[in-house]
A and B are shown apart, each in its own frame.
Chain A
Amino acid sequence: MNDGKKSSRRRRSSSLLYQEPPESMEHMSDQSALPNLNANWVNAKGAWAIHVVCIIGLKILFDIIPGVSQETSWTLVNITYMFASYLMFHWVRGVPFEFNAGAYDNLNMWEQIDNGDQYTPAKKFLLSVPIVLFLLSTHYTHYDLTYFTINFLAVLAVVIPKLPFSHRMRVGLFSGDPEDR
């Protein structure tokens, strides 16, 4: 029944950068029909602590692998965390469960958090974690330039998509295929 609205959501095929268009009325009513359990947990109790726990866990894991130096271990912790959080917050779109009739299919998790509001406490926390982790890991890698470059690129990869200007922004290379839905 929504074939009439299709044309407004079509993306210009040639552009590398494009902005996700605003949702239709039907989309928005589906989004608000049920709470978005996929994104709401970031505001739950313990959701902040789990980041610290995971980072410590990773550090222990890489430390017990024989032959891994402190520098490599910190760098591994850093890039593992950055990779996992990029995957979770910025790469995967939609909701993995059958809620909201697929109304969030075009948005990644970062855009779903707090209904797309910017500078909320959860977003502030989630942005500071990678920055602090990066500062820690550069410190413990004794400012070796190679390690520094790797860690810095990793932190850029998760910080840039979190900025308000990249809200709903899709880059042809990094965001996967824009699904024309």
Chain B
Amino acid sequence: MDLQYAQSWLDDILNEVSLQFQKVPGSAIFLRYVKSSYQNDPVRSAVEFFLVVFAIFYLLSPKYSTQKKSYVTLSDEEIDELVEDWTPEPLVAPQTPFEETENEKRPVIVGPTGPKSRLSNGRTVTNLASYNFYNLVTNETLKEKAIQVLRNYGVGPCSPPGFYGTQDVHIKTEGDIAAHLGASACIMYAQAFSTISSVIPAFSKRGDIIVADRAVNYAIRKGIQISRSTVRWYDHNDVEDMERVLEKVVREQRKKPLTRRFIVTEGLFENVGDMVDLPKIIELKLKYKFRLILDETWSYGVLGRTGRGITEHQNVDVAEVDMIIGSLAGPLCGGGGFCAGSDEIVEHQRISAAAYTFSAALPAMLATTASEVISMLQTNPEMLTPLRDNIKAMWTQLDPRSDWVYCTSSPDNPIMLLALKPELILSRKLSIADQEQLLQDVVDECLTNGVLITRVKSMPRPVNATTKDIGWELQPALKVCVTCGLTRKEIEKAGITIRHAVTKVVTKRRS
């Protein structure tokens, strides 16, 4: 019978298989394991069996990538072809005609700078284009001391502060700044520009929130960009808009994990020159629980009775501001920048602020000069008075008297930014480029009459960014830096020269 035949054939095969199976080493253990694990419970055994099968399936599956390919695979010929076709773009865009003429006419100072500078064409001009507010450039005692320090310490420490770059003078200067400001600690950076762009990313990370003024300077913008934080802008110096933004952030973040939140603004704005309303900002920051990063690059050493900056000027407790960033270059005649705050804030930066950890420390002579100037400011606050008188003198010559320009700066700011009046811009339909050309003509006209001033030059925009992306457009303006190295008469004369130059250029352009 066929069926019987098939059955005996099957038995034979089964016998053969079990015989072969028993020959495999370890098969007895496996059998015993299966027998003991079965235990009259088929469901459980099935579960275990399924798990084992799954594991084997997983182990045998081939590897694959879950990331989407964002590139095309090319053959060697295609690559060669593309390489041949490629013509490199110039690293730097060619100069525009405006830049070319500007570079041609650029005045070159020969010898030391000062209130009266000699140019390479032999003329001596009144210098209102450098941040030499207290005329410390010509101070002989400071020069002597700097030379002495140079002989003792050499030029640069040649090492980051965390390695062996910290010298006793750095510690002393840090202490001096902290004592001057009334903050509990201070950390010194080697470059003023990179201070704020390093402080922001040291504290604010991806997912954290920064609320910033639209008109903040380029260094702050870079810092925000590096930090990868989420940034919300508010209209320039508009406290109401700021409150709206803060409230929105708080509302949006209510049910989410807590993040760090910062307000970033400037004391005296680099691009506009006006002053921030600090008491109001402190009130809002406490109300909405934000931290405040205040860039005092242009106000430290300038505002306040003893040059302590905007906190002294507006009677705000320094401890209310979480981080105060300032510059030791410019008016203080030294170099580098600093960040003052609580002990924790300062100690955190010593290991996590990029510019502090990776950049060589400040040359000793710059640190001692800065510290010297700070003690001068403290012991002799009268040295600030002539500067303020000169600012007033210059202000009266320009702002109400000129029909064409007005000053956007605060009356306490020695850097006076003179922008064209909106009526003028509107009636003549001046574009940004037109305004810049016009102001450059004013600068040239002033120089022929022996007064050296400059224009506001903001740093370039990020690549491909439009005004809409930034949400703010730099207002072209003249930059006049008042100094106390000139007498009141000289300042008034320079003011008249600038005013007449503006009138001449504007009226000539009309005809």
The residues of A with any CB-CB pair to B shorter than 8 Å are 1-4, 6, 22, 26, 30, 98, 101-103, 105, 115-120, 124, 127-128, 131, 134-135, 138-139, 143, 145, 148, 152, 155, 164, 167-168, 177, 179-181
Residues of B within 8 A of A (CB): 33, 36-37, 39, 41, 44, 47-48, 51-52, 54-55, 58-59, 61-68, 205-207, 224-225, 228, 230-232, 256-257, 352, 462, 469
Q: Which of A118, A120, A179 interacts with B207 by CB under 8 Å?
A: A179
Q: Least Cβ distance of B212 to chain A in Å?
A: 10
Given A128-B55, A135-B51, is A102 in contact with B63 using a C-beta cutoff of 8 Å? no
Expressed in whole angstroms, the Cα–Cα distance for A4 and B233 within the complex equals 12
The verdict on A148 contacting B44 (CB below 8 Å), with A3-B232, A101-B228, A143-B37 known, is yes
The 8 Å CB contact of B230, one of A2, A117, A134, A177, is: A2
**Does the CB pair B68–A117 fall under 8 Å?**
no
Q: Judging by beta carbons under 8 Å apart, are B59 and A105 in contact?
A: no
Q: Is the CB of A177 within 8 A of B257?
A: yes
In angstroms, Cα B256 to Cα A30, docked, is: 24
Distance between Cα atoms of A164 and B47 in the complex (Å): 21
Chain B min CB distance to A73 (Å)? 19
Set of chain A residues within 8 Å of B58, measured between Cβ atoms: 119, 124, 127-128
Contacts of B206 in A (CB 8 A): 30, 101-103, 105, 181
**Assembly CA distance A145 to B232 (angstroms):** 58
Contacts of B64 in A (CB 8 A): 117-119
Q: Which residue of A lies closest to B221 (CB)?
A: A1
Bound Cα distance A102, B352 (Å) = 14
When the two chains form their complex, are residues A117 and B65 in contact, meaning their CB atoms are under 8 A apart? yes
B66 touches A179 (CB 8 A): no
CA A68 to CA B59, docked complex, whole Å: 35
Nearest to B207 among chain A residues (CB) is A181
Cβ distance A97 to chain B, nearest Cβ, rounded Å? 12
Q: A102-B228, A134-B51, A139-B37 are contacts. A179–B256 as well, Cβ < 8 Å? A: yes
Asked whether, in the complex, the Cβ of A179 is within 8 Å of the Cβ of B257, the reply is yes
- Tally of A-B residue pairs with Cβ under 8 A? 88
Chain A interface helix/strand/loop/mixed:
helix
Chain B's closest residue to A30 (CB) is: B228
Q: A102-B206, A143-B41 are in contact. Are A152 and B68 (CB under 8 A)?
A: no
Query: Given contacts A30-B228, A128-B55, A179-B257, are A118 and B63 in contact (CB under 8 A)?
Result: yes
Known A6-B230, A116-B66: A143·B256 in contact at CB below 8 Å: no
Residues in A with CB closer than 8 Å to B231 are 1-3
Minimum CB–CB distance from A76 to chain B (whole Å) comes to 20
**Extra A-B contacts (13), CB below 8 Å, given A131-B51, A139-B33:** A101-B206, A102-B228, A105-B206, A116-B65, A124-B58, A127-B58, A128-B55, A135-B48, A135-B52, A138-B48, A143-B41, A145-B41, A152-B47
Q: Which of B44, B63, B230, B352 contacts A98 (CB 8 A)?
A: B352
What is the chain B residue whose CB lies nearest that of A104?
A: B206
Nearest CB in chain A: distance from B65 CB, A? 5
User: Which A residues are in CB contact (< 8 Å) with B51?
Assistant: 131, 134-135, 155
- Chain B residues with CB under 8 Å of A102's CB are 205-207, 228
A22 contact set on B, CB distance < 8 A: 68
How far is A139 from B228 in the complex, measured between Cα atoms in Å? 52
Closest residue on chain B to residue A144 by CB atoms:
B39
| Known A135-B51, A180-B256: A143·B67 in contact at CB below 8 Å | no
- Contact in complex: B39, A143 (CB < 8 Å): yes
A-B contact pairs, 16 of them (CB 8 A): A2-B228, A3-B231, A22-B68, A26-B228, A117-B67, A119-B58, A119-B62, A128-B59, A131-B55, A139-B36, A143-B41, A145-B44, A164-B66, A177-B256, A179-B257, A180-B256
In the bound complex, residues from chain A placing their C-beta under 8 Å from that of B39 are 143
Cross-chain contact B63 with A1 (CB below 8 angstroms): no
CB-nearest residue of chain B relative to A176? B257
A128 CA to B44 CA, complexed, in Å: 19
CB distance from A2 to the nearest CB of B (A): 6
